[in-house]
Amino acid sequence: MAVEAGKFRLLSVSTTSKLLLVSRIPDKTKFVLDAATAKVTLDGKPAEFSALSQFSVINVKFDQKKSAKMGIDIDGVATEIRISTPENPKPHAEPAKISGTP
């Protein structure tokens, strides 16, 4: 059983079955992970699994082992998911338009 850890782009979250589809940064290797027992933290504080869908970049530590859950092939079991808000800036509001003559 290999342990993987690193920064991943969060592609999809299934809150009912607690599955994640992630893509490793920078090589874009995709993994489907079972996160039912993962410890989730946001800026070092405990967070709810449902909060993950609000973020695009997460740090994940998982045990890489093939299995299946609900008919879906799983690449591993997430043990720790860390979210850091500086890595996930809020979308910028559109700049105010200045009206007037050129």
CATH number, domain of 69, equals 2.40.50.320
Q: Which two tokens stand for residue 86?
A: 């500086």
Cα distance between residue 93 and residue 60, in whole Å? 29
Question: Is 18 part of a structural domain of the chain?
Answer: yes
Q: Which two tokens stand for residue 54?
A: 């609000």
Q: Which two tokens stand for residue 70?
A: 């609900």
Question: Is 93 part of a structural domain of the chain?
Answer: no
pLDDT digits (tens, 9 = 90+) for 36-94: 999 999 998 999 998 898 999 999 999 999 999 888 899 999 999 999 887 666 555 45
Count the domains in the chain: 1
Query: 101 by DSSP, 3-state: which?
Result: coil
Quick check: 43 and 54 in contact, CB under 8 A? no
Q: 61 is in which domain, residue-wise?
A: 2-87
